Chain A
């Protein structure tokens, strides 16, 4: 064994040398990391690697960086939102306007509207705003969570500039024995946080029915120190919400499956006063209905599918102090039909036609504003050298109302050895202006052009076994992206979006993991993810613009996450530490928010009660009791607790 270790260590030395050389050449790049160190835990049996059911990830993105959130992490955060999970465990900046408040994605220096969120392949960003509030996406309802880094607009469509968050529901399982499943989850925590959920399903030889639900409430009255150093309890911060997702699937034949999903959620939120406000009575209620009908036919070498979805998002915002009482509803129909064909053992082809029609109805005039996107997209994947080289070509021709766009791309990976592989990705990308950007009254700008540009990224992965018990994983990604016609909102009393600038984003991300199975009972893990992002304005139409070569707002240059922990028999422990660097709030770097660290403890224990599996989790967030802000003047809580249980009855 000693010789094996030595041999592997020699190999590692060469790897580290190679890494060092590559890093030295990387220059101004960015680093990021994922926290996927939570492995090999005896929770729900062995840990499963989460892969997508979407062929666009599995087959046609060999050169893209994709991170799958593992099952242990999903279980840890089952009483929380995706915003909490991603902010602590994934290398993406979550711009949170406060505890349990609106949270949006920022991939690699992109804006919220430049990050797409897809549920079972259907874009679910609000059609008017073009953003998704990830604080309203309960982890419990998701079976698979994948993050795709970098642009791949050919595959994922408009808005996929920085990256994509892909969510997938449970796949139906048909069982002639009438398999049933029922589990209940519940949680309580600081600031009167209560959560509850259910996951239930029943299946037969032909049918599968499932119902998942999640509800939560919180008062969020945590205390904080004012600028005068007095302790004050936060007020007007109440949260109440719930989400229900039902699925009915029918196995028409061995190759044909029909699925219907119904997902409804409603949230009521109060918006607490920012630090510069004396009081706040703001609140908003939003409700989303998402219907999805999906048909899938799989043969040996051919798969056909169609999916049709209807989504409506309604928001009612009230602020009696500002005489605001607005209600907006956006709608979208989404249709996609596709065909995947295995040409031979080494090549596959997919062709699909996505059509999306979205519209809003103006509150005052009842005027209907709409946007229609229709595209033909195709991707071809081919493998050479016994699969060591994997190349995918993809392209998309899209019409957005009357504007045509052609989006080509190519990505590839190459396994130099069984422990070291390289990858690269070049894609053209674009983002069509949202309905709000075009038509919001007052301030909408109907003459906006799409943001467009090119994205290049490359990286390598090495996976080595230092010994039979110790494994080491290291991944490095570098990216470069230039986006023209970058849309920025201008204004004081009236805000108006303009195609104002060219923004150059580049960076370097690393993901590092070390795992050691000490013996049959003890397993240790450590992980470090780092990111370094430079996203600067390259040119601008503004007179005497001082933003040239300056970092764009709310894009931390440095970001890092550390996980250290162990599992012992049925006990799992993890310490998670996050660091987020300076965030500028103006385009000329003249105003900024200080960096912050958070430490979070996570504990899980599995046991049985009368033969029924019971999982207990305790999480202590912000253990160092830091007072920090993610967004300027929006408060985040100090140390806080959240305990949860999952009881599996069937």
Chain B
């Protein structure tokens, strides 16, 4: 009888195995390659899936996750930005509280700098860089050679964000809805030297145009702070002109073209609508903000990454697809003609063009 029971159980097991018609083990083909366009994929907050993709603009092929391929470990949670300093790339991994340093040629891990919530890194010299930090009122000072935090600069407000160096003066955005000031730091002594009053609150991102004027994007639409572009003369720290966005517009990721005469930016509608949603372009001489998108986002689509290849002028646009699946990057000619599309990691957020 025991044998009979055994047979029964065996048959039942077999039945279940027969039903296993979908293979459980997923296919995860590794794609390796190289290129000069780096796609910073944030990953989905809390999933620890930040990744680094590389696009070969000549071959039109993308590969990734290159960091994992080379180092056999994951990068971390919310890969925010990257920057070359010397022969190394510094990768700011925001929610993993670290800056990962890799060899620029091989992407091999060289070390890590523990910094709370790093957002961007700004090279000051070969031995000094500033790091902005979310949820903190500090700019951290790191040594890119020793990979040590060597100090910090207290700021009057939280969320240090975009930074720009001009004539040894660092312009620091503090993306805090309580302030409409842009701060400058004397990079020689690492102390705040001035503050510049802006047209809007919550300064976030910063650019330099061909006339050596500074553009600051301020605002936090979701927190009720209307967004604005502020054009500043960095020599006397005066506001030259401001452009106020509609209250419902949420501009992000402004970039300057190689000529330095046009600004491209994203307006993102996370509610699924199409108004104020897409890629916009304006000349630095325009009197008003553009109202029509240069590249339109579709319903339930919004863009999260934008870059302009300084060598070709091609426009790179990242669609995060809700941060719940792999994103897509579309490459356009300057006249908005689609050139190529390729798949990248979750949440493409920035492009880095290595020259």
Contact = CB atoms under 8 A, between A and B. Distances in A.
A543 B300 contact: yes
Interface stretch (B16-24, B164-172, B306-314): B16-24
Contact of A542 (B9, B16, B300): B300
A510 B5 CA distance: 17
Contacts of B5: 466, 470, 472, 514
A587 B324 CA distance: 6
B47 interface: yes
A28 B272 contact: no
Contacts of B117: 321-322
Contacts of A512: 9, 12
Contacts of B343: 546
B151 interface: no
B326 A546 contact: yes
B26 A277 contact: no
Interface stretch (A49-57, A158-166, A239-247, A485-493): A485-493
B200 interface: no
Interface string A523-542: 00000101010100000011
Contact of B47 (A9, A496, A591): A591
A330 to B, nearest CB: 22
Contacts of A92: none
Given A276-B77, A490-B270, A632 B48 contact: yes
Interface stretch (B91-99, B235-243, B257-265): B91-99
B22 A557 contact: yes
Nearest to A467: B1
Interface string A446-482: 0000000000000000000011001010100000000
Nearest to A275: B48
A59 B265 CA distance: 62
A488 B95 CA distance: 23
Nearest to A443: B270
A321 B270 contact: no
B76 interface: yes
B324 A276 contact: no
A492 B45 contact: yes
A542 B322 contact: yes
Contacts of B96: 276-278
A29 B19 contact: yes
Interface size class of B (residues with CB under 8 A): 35 or more
B68 to A, nearest CB: 11
B300 A498 contact: yes
Contacts of A445: 271-272
A532 B16 contact: yes
A227 B73 contact: yes
B191 interface: no
Interface in A420-443: 442-443
Contacts of A585: 44, 47, 49
Contacts of A279: 97
Contacts of A491: 270, 322-323
A19 B114 CA distance: 59
A472 B48 CA distance: 46
A26 B15 CA distance: 10
B19 A591 contact: no
A592 B26 contact: yes
Nearest to B97: A278
Interface in B1-32: 1, 4-5, 8-9, 11-13, 15-16, 18-22, 24-26, 28
A558 B18 contact: no
A323 interface: yes
A143 B42 CA distance: 47
A555 B349 CA distance: 28
Interface in B72-118: 73-74, 76-77, 95-98, 114, 116-117
A500 interface: yes
B298 A543 contact: yes
Given A276-B96, A512-B12, A544 B4 contact: no
A459 to B, nearest CB: 14
B48 A633 contact: yes
B46 interface: yes
A109 B125 CA distance: 54
A321 B21 CA distance: 47
Among B42, B46, B325, B328, the most chain A Cβ lie within 10 Å of the Cβ of B325
A555 B19 CA distance: 17
A26 B16 CA distance: 10
Interface string B42-68: 101111110000000000000000000
Given A274-B77, A494-B270, A586 B325 contact: yes
Contacts of B15: 19-20, 23-24
A277 B4 contact: no
B135 interface: yes
Contact of B48 (A23, A274, A466): A274
A547 interface: yes
B349 A581 contact: no
A582 B25 contact: yes
Contacts of A616: none
Interface string A303-347: 000000000000000000111000000000000000000000000
Given A278-B96, A321-B116, A323-B158, A586 B19 contact: no
Contacts of A514: 5, 9
Nearest to B301: A543
B304 A492 contact: yes
Contacts of A321: 116-117, 135
A547 B327 CA distance: 12
A584 interface: yes
A276 B116 contact: no
Interface string A573-587: 000000001101111
Contact of A586 (B98, B272, B326): B326
Contacts of A489: 322, 324
Contacts of B20: 532, 558
B349 A496 contact: no
A72 interface: no
Contacts of B267: none
Interface in A566-610: 581-582, 584-592, 595
Interface in A71-120: none
Contact of B4 (A12, A31, A586, A587): A12
B116 to A, nearest CB: 7
B49 A278 contact: no
Contacts of B208: none
Nearest to B269: A496
B214 interface: no
A574 to B, nearest CB: 18
Contact of B95 (A276, A474, A496): A276
A19 B349 CA distance: 53
Contacts of A31: 16, 19
A542 B324 CA distance: 11
A510 B77 contact: no
A276 B74 contact: yes
Contacts of B328: 544
A589 B28 CA distance: 9
A111 B82 CA distance: 36
8 contacts: A20-B11, A31-B19, A466-B5, A489-B322, A489-B324, A534-B22, A546-B321, A585-B44
Interface of A: 5, 9, 12, 16, 19-20, 23-24, 26-29, 31, 227, 274-279, 321-323, 442-443, 445, 466-467, 470, 472, 474, 488-492, 494, 496, 498, 500, 508, 510, 512, 514, 528, 530, 532, 534, 541-547, 553, 557-558, 581-582, 584-592, 595, 632-633
Task: Give the 10 A-B CB pairs with smallest separation, nearest first.
Answer: A490-B322, A276-B48, A588-B325, A23-B15, A278-B97, A442-B222, A276-B77, A633-B48, A587-B325, A543-B301
Interface of B: 1, 4-5, 8-9, 11-13, 15-16, 18-22, 24-26, 28, 42, 44-49, 73-74, 76-77, 95-98, 114, 116-117, 135, 158, 222-223, 270-272, 298-301, 304, 319-326, 328, 343, 346-347, 349
